[in-house]
């Protein structure tokens, strides 16, 4: 009871808007952990908060609280987000935020603000006019809101498939067992846990005699981690083998039938599903003799910790049609003649261009991509067309994207498209004298996945937050990087030497600004990163924007350089110009690192 009381004293519980407004009137700093009912408060930072309270709370200027996003109108913009959000409240305002369980950043901000408050209370400093943070809630239709209120809150469980099971190739078997039981796998990733994460996730085992041996085992290789929905299940949509109704078997045949079924199941290695939908995933896997292969963490506080650490950007799925990706190709002749108009038409028809890549295919690449068409009469013309100049590959996103893009394209033969579907893209954007149509689309989800990997392979790129931007906008830039879908696979703060800067800008050597650029880059601390994503090199360059911030503001107003650059020298960020340059810079800064392993940790979304 004593420990429970202490925890209540550490973090006040805010349940209503009125309590929220009362909290804002408290003297000093209050750090509020904003959480979801389905995810729970973040337990990973409790020991840090307790330490800070002990060291900086004696003059009653430091307070901690927890608040559920859905129950307080001021916090509705945070609903359905599993990533922890810590809001800093001072003098009646929300003045700062830290997203994610970032212990060092939380510690630094708490100490800075408490020290400032102490100086203000002592009359040694005046209170600065701090702007209040504004958060915009994503709007939903009335129908969606009504539907969401009526839906039972889903429960999320984290399944950690152990290193030996991963090595033995058991992952697909475990996933199949879970989905066949009617549970939904919402996200998955291969993760190599840290020593700190293992000890945190398995606190309940810490008193066992072989705990250190268990920690070593969990660190011995990668785990495969799943987020599984255990909420209101619809098991009937995935029925098991139907049991025959009484009377459908003749007398004396029932036992014989059962024996034959059991023999067949044993021979095929088939595991018979339960006759009723399982009540919990943990109990179900134990019944399937799989508890030695994986751990199921289904308590709210466990799921909260693990989701925050392993899937910081995971959001509760929204109702409505699921978004889908497909690959579209604009072939060379059309790209040369009507690039802008076809891109405009694609967006007008409701597709979002998530990624794009302009590429001149070699004959070998074209043959590999169209190998299923080899031997067809049109194959030589197709090969010639695809190697005649740049092709624009697009990753298109919308609900039911594959089918809708195929329908919009129209028939493959241009003459048929003009006669049967004159408003289709292949009819409207036909190119005279071109022997084949000028647009391509994936035909199935399996083909779309393969084509995504072909044109938008997962890459690593090298990125730098330059000295001035690092000092003034580091947290904002890192947040934009995450929101753009990059995984920050490696990151470190460093003082770039002149030698390192010369390596980054090797291709600029001899230009008038070269020396000034190298000197600036080595003038103060920077943040160097390895970013991982599909088509990462080009995607990072798109996010950075043009080198000149004035041009960036005109042509790419949402880019990092448009938002955070001072001038063309202090233009906020740097990135590799191509994949080869990225590998060279990464090896130069981070040393011997397994880049392929970083790619495998990325999950296509």
* Better-predicted residue by pLDDT, 2 or 119: 119
Looking at residue 9, its pLDDT comes to 66
The answer to the question of whether 466 is labelled as a binding residue is: yes
- Average the pLDDT over 154-174 and give the result: 85
Looking at residue 197, its pLDDT comes to 79
Share of the chain above pLDDT 70, in %: 80
Looking at residue 251, its pLDDT comes to 41
H or E element, residue 345: helix 332-348
- Average the pLDDT over 189-201 and give the result: 81
Active site residue 235: no
Q: Which residues contact 28 (CB under 8 A, 6 or more apart)?
A: 60, 61, 62, 63, 90, 114, 117
Evaluate if residue 3 carries a pLDDT over 80. no
The answer to the question of whether 541 is labelled as a binding residue is: yes
Q: Is 510 left (phi over 0), alpha (psi -120 to 50) or beta?
A: left
* Better-predicted residue by pLDDT, 457 or 154: 457
Looking at residue 320, its pLDDT comes to 53
- Residue 161, class by beta-carbon neighbours within 10 Å (0-12 exposed, 13-18 middle, 19+ buried)? buried
- Average the pLDDT over 172-200 and give the result: 82
The answer to the question of whether 336 is labelled as a binding residue is: no
The answer to the question of whether 506 is labelled as a binding residue is: no
The answer to the question of whether 299 is labelled as a binding residue is: no
One of 440, 473, 556, 581 is an active-site residue; which one?
440
Evaluate if residue 436 carries a pLDDT over 70. yes
- Residue 319, class by beta-carbon neighbours within 10 Å (0-12 exposed, 13-18 middle, 19+ buried)? exposed
Q: Which residues contact 193 (CB under 8 A, 6 or more apart)?
A: 201, 218, 219, 223
Looking at residue 56, its pLDDT comes to 87
Active site residue 600: no
Looking at residue 178, its pLDDT comes to 84
Evaluate if residue 174 carries a pLDDT over 60. yes
The residues facing 225 across adjacent strands are 160, 189
CB 425 within 8 A of CB 345: yes
The answer to the question of whether 561 is labelled as a binding residue is: yes
The confidence band for 326, taking pLDDT boundaries of 50, 70 and 90, is: very high
Mean of per-residue pLDDT scores for the chain: 79
Looking at residue 152, its pLDDT comes to 44
- The reported pTM is 0.44
Looking at residue 214, its pLDDT comes to 92
Share of the chain above pLDDT 90, in %: 17
H or E element, residue 424: none
CB 434 within 8 A of CB 542: no
What domains lie within the chain, and their CATH numbers? 2-121 (3.40.30.10), 152-234+279-317 (3.30.70.141), 323-455 (3.30.70.141), 458-600 (3.30.70.141)
One of 63, 297, 473, 574 is an active-site residue; which one?
574
Looking at residue 240, its pLDDT comes to 30
Residue count (the chain): 605
């Amino acid at each position: 009871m004593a420990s429970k009381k202490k925890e209540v004293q550490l973090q006040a519980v805010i349940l209503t808007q009125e309590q929220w407004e009362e909290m804002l009137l408290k003297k000093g700093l209050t750090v509020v952990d904003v959480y979801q009912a389905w995810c729970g408060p973040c337990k990973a930072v409790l020991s840090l908060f307790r330490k800070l309270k002990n060291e900086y709370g004696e003059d009653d200027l430091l307070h901690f609280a927890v608040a559920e996003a859905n129950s307080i109108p001021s916090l509705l913009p945070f609903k359905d987000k599993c990533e922890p959000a810590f809001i800093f409240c001072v003098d009646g305002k929300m003045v700062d935020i830290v997203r994610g369980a970032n212990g060092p950043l939380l510690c630094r901000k708490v100490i800075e603000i408490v020290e400032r408050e102490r100086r203000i209370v002592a009359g040694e400093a005046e209170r600065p006019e701090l702007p209040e943070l504004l958060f915009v809630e994503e709007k939903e239709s009335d129908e969606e809101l009504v539907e969401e209120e009526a839906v039972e809150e889903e429960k999320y469980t984290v399944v950690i498939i152990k290193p030996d099971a991963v090595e033995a190739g058991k992952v697909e078997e475990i996933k199949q067992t879970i989905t066949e039981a009617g549970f939904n796998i919402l996200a998955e990733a291969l993760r190599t846990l840290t020593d700190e994460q293992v000890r945190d996730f398995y606190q309940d085992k810490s008193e066992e005699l072989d705990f250190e041996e268990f920690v070593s085992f969990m660190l011995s290789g990668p785990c495969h981690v799943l987020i599984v929905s255990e909420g209101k299940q619809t098991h009937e949509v995935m029925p098991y083998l139907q049991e025959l109704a009484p009377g459908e078997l003749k007398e004396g045949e029932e036992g014989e039938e059962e024996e034959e079924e059991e023999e067949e199941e044993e021979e095929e290695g088939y595991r018979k599903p339960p006759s009723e939908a399982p009540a919990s995933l943990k109990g179900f896997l134990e019944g399937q003799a799989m508890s030695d292969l994986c751990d199921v963490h289904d308590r709210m506080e466990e799921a909260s910790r693990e989701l925050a650490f392993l899937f910081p950007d995971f959001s509760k799925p929204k109702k409505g049609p699921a978004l889908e990706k497909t690959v579209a190709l604009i072939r060379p002749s059309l790209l040369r003649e009507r690039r802008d108009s076809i891109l405009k038409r694609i967006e007008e028809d409701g597709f979002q261009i998530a990624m794009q890549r302009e590429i001149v295919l070699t004959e070998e690449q074209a043959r590999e991509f169209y190998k299923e068409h080899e031997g067809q009469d049109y194959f030589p013309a197709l090969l010639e067309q695809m190697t005649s100049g740049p092709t624009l590959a697009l990753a298109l996103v919308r609900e039911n994207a594959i089918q809708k893009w195929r329908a919009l394209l129209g028939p493959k033969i241009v003459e048929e498209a003009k006669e049967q579907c004159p408003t289709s893209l292949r009819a409207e954007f036909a190119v005279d004298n071109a022997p084949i149509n000028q647009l391509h689309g994936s035909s199935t989800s399996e083909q779309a996945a393969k084509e995504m990997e072909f044109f938008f392979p997962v890459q690593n790129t090298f990125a730098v937050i330059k000295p001035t931007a690092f000092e003034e906008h580091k947290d904002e830039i890192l947040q934009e990087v995450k929101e753009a879908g990059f995984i920050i696979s490696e990151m470190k703060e460093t003082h770039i030497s002149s030698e390192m800067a010369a390596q980054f800008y090797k291709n600029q050597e001899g230009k008038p600004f070269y020396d000034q650029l190298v000197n600036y880059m080595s003038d103060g601390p920077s943040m160097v990163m390895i970013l991982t994503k599909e088509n990462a090199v080009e995607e990072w360059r798109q996010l950075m924007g043009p080198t000149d911030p004035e041009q960036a503001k005109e042509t790419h107003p949402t880019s990092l350089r448009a938002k955070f650059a001072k001038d063309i020298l202090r233009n906020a960020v740097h990135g590799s110009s191509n994949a080869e340059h990225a590998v060279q810079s990464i090896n130069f800064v981070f040393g011997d690192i397994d880049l392929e392993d970083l790619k495998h940790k990325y999950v296509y979304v």
